[in-house]
Amino acid sequence: MATMTMAKALNAALADAMLDDERVVVFGEDVGQLGGVFRITDGLQARFGDKRCFDTPLAEAGIVGFAVGLAMSGLRPVVEMQFDAFAYPAFEQIASHVAKLRNRTRGALSVPIVIRVPYAGGIGGVEHHCDSSEAYYAHTPGLKVVTPATVEDAYSLLREAIDDPDPVVFMEPKKLYFSSAEAELPARTAPFGKAVVRRAGTDATLVAYGPAVPVALEAAEAAREEGWDLEVVDVRTIVPFDDATVTASVRKTGRCVVIQEAQGFAGVGAEIAARVQERCFHALHAPVLRVSGLDIPYPAPMLEHTHLPSVDRVLDTVARLQWDDQPDERWVAA
Amino acid sequence: MTTTPQAVRRASPRTRRPATPAAPDPSDGLLPKSEPVRLLNPDGTPLPARDDYPEPPVEALREMYRRMVVGRRFDAQATALTKQGRLAVYPSSRGQEACQVGGVLALRDTDWVFPTYRESMALTARGIDPVEVLTLLRGDWHCGYDPTVVHTAPQCTPLATQCVHAAGLAYGESYQGRDTVALAFIGDGATSEGDFHEGVNFAAVFKAPVVYFVQNNKYAISVPLSRQTAAPSLAYKGVGYGVPSEQVDGNDPVAVLAVLNRAVAHARAGKGPYLVEAHTYRMEPHTNADDQTRYRDAEEVEAWRDRDPIARLEAYLRNRGVLDDAAVAAIAEEAEAYAAALRDRMNAQPEVDPLSLFDHVYAEPTPQLVEQREQVRAELAATRAEEGDA
């Protein structure tokens, strides 16, 4: 066991994958000599050479489209989109080709590409550097969408993403890059499609993913003072989604709050809330509530803490889970 | 525009400077000829032979003629199939036969083609089963052929996106020690898309063996070339990427094949990508659903009939003595048989399986897809039971 950051675990996952499989190539903007703006590819070019890890022209559609061609030739491309909002030029390549080539060709072609996207905020970044863009990808059939919240998961999920026969959008929470934990590598945690209970509890379930998981855990600790024993489920893989683990938890607790950092409307949290109420209606003592970012363009750094889901906002929401079986004041006027 | 070396200009008598060797003009060899390369006159009489583009072997030209005739008949049959309701839509490439056939004849079977939706003729000329080529347009699935078997990417509807795939595949092949060349078809309108720029640029930076083959047929649906570019010709775009480029008379089959042969050889020799613009003309509307009278005159279309690529090659081959009435008739008969067989096969209603919708979304279906598949299966069973009761 050693203490390491999520950034280091991701770097180790890339290095180990390149060591194990010579088809793995890593490329993008500044990933070579510089090692990426977040240093996730640090040292890979020096260790594996500039054919295995290389810089490209500054063009995201080009990077992803190039990866499609490389995958067609039999390689396993892992590409970096430097920031969440910088990936938008690549969206056509992702939605029309990466996601669909297997389907369009009845399985004859597959494009096992990993698109790494540093995402979400909480780091004081200026505009276009803090978007939570996971819903765009999760809404696109053919993509798997994965986001780690722990150091060991970061390693394990990235290794699994690179091994996966399907394209994976690998969303890396920027604000957790330099969070550290005890970890033993090579770690292999739960596979894709498995959510994990991070904290057991009996009174309500908090469902979260990526950067919202530490918020949920902190809120659960704080809730003990209020007399609530909260369970925290880390979704880990948005696609494929683990209905079974989430519904088992909610059936046990009877109450559920879904937490995401992204703006709420039509988001992943909305999907999760809908799925929970469809499947757990008779076990629920309260409507499924959501805590999310506000429905605004990502704010300037000095205002981002109003936008981001906070422990207080989570606790306020938990307080509205029909503990006294009274109509929720928020909705009465409406 | 000429490509006069700087050394010559600087040594002009007026300046009285001594003729010192100057650095070569970095655009040397990148700019196309100022006029499209042409080896045949429109009536099929040959122009003087040229060293830069040697004429392809006559056997290749005869084979090109055969595939062009069959290709045109295929194209007409496909248009007829839209009228019979057998195809949802068909984008014709009538008039572009020299490009459609030349683009695939210049390649080996192991090379890769990245076609657009207008390349159905090219794909059948490549030997792909025409029913598999038309699967997309019939609508029983998307891509009907196995790309890995025929080394041909699915016909690409999103414009220019295939330009980047071609760069990636070509680079990946050379990375793994294979001498594969990729040829990406693209139209004039799609050269305005960002992915054309990114594809050619990536190919140039990584020296990927790709030939970008622009069929400039003068219209992007209704929008004329003048709204796509202010460049002297689309082939001039190559110099900005450091890519050697050429323009060719796209209705001169001999020139098209000669230029593409050179471009493919350049790519295969490891010298990087090549950009070829072929000046041609779409004789039919954008698709059967388009009304071209809204944006171009009948006279304009008629004028292009005099530049028909098949008549041009036929006249040339007859003059060369490698094609006679009997051979022309035999090829026409082959084309008729090809079209008849296609018509018969397309008249059979394809079987589609609603449950196959869930195959190939992922290598393994997600639990949610398994649930939805079960729901559809139950719906189908209920429908069948009702029909059984009725």
Q: Do B361 and A141 touch (CB under 8 A)?
A: yes
Whether ipTM tops 0.85, in short, is: yes
Q: Which of these is catalytic: B262, B286, B307, B312?
A: B286
- Tell me what pLDDT residue B388 has: 85
Q: What phi, psi does A9 have (nearest 5°)?
A: -65, -40
Q: Do A66 and B167 touch (CB under 8 A)?
A: yes
Residue (of A327, A249, A316, A255) closest to A287 by Cα position: A255
Of A263-267, B103-107, B376-380, B385-389, minimum mean pLDDT range: B385-389
* Element spanning B103, H or E: helix B97-105
CA B365 to chain A, closest CA, distance in angstroms equals 9
Structure-block tokens of residue A41: 């590819």
Collect all residues with Cβ–Cβ distance below 8 Å to B136 and sequence separation of at least 6.
B117, B142, B143, B144, B154, B155
Q: Find the mean pLDDT for residues B336-358.
A: 96
Burial B259-290 (b: 16+ CB within 10 A, else e): bbbbbbebbbeeebbbbbbbbbbbbbbbbbeb
| CATH numbers and ranges of domains, chain A | 2-183 (3.40.50.970), 196-327 (3.40.50.920)
Cis? peptide before B32, omega within 30° of 0: no
- Looking at beta carbons, which residues of chain B come within 8 Å of A167? none
Tell me the mean pLDDT per 10 residues along chain A, length 334.
96 98 98 97 98 98 98 98 97 98 97 98 96 98 98 98 98 97 95 98 98 98 97 98 98 98 98 98 98 98 97 98 90 70
The dihedral built from the CA positions of residue A260, A265, A267 and A272, taken in this order, carries a sign that is positive
Q: Do B172 and A70 touch (CB under 8 A)?
A: yes
How far is residue B119's CA from residue B220's CA, in Å, rounded to a whole number? Answer: 15
CA A56 to chain B, closest CA, distance in angstroms equals 8
Angstrom CA distances, B109 to A255, B55, B113, B150, B180, stand at 62, 22, 10, 7, 10
- Looking at beta carbons, which residues of chain A come within 8 Å of B175? 25, 51, 70, 73, 75
By Cβ distance, the residue of B168, B201, B205 closest to A69 is B168
Q: Do B363 and A110 touch (CB under 8 A)?
A: yes
By Cβ distance, the residue of A73, A92, A107 closest to B173 is A73
Pairing of strands A237-239, A144-146: antiparallel
Q: Do B168 and A102 touch (CB under 8 A)?
A: no
**pLDDT tens digits for B131-149?**
999 999 999 999 999 999 9
CA A205 to chain B, closest CA, distance in angstroms equals 22
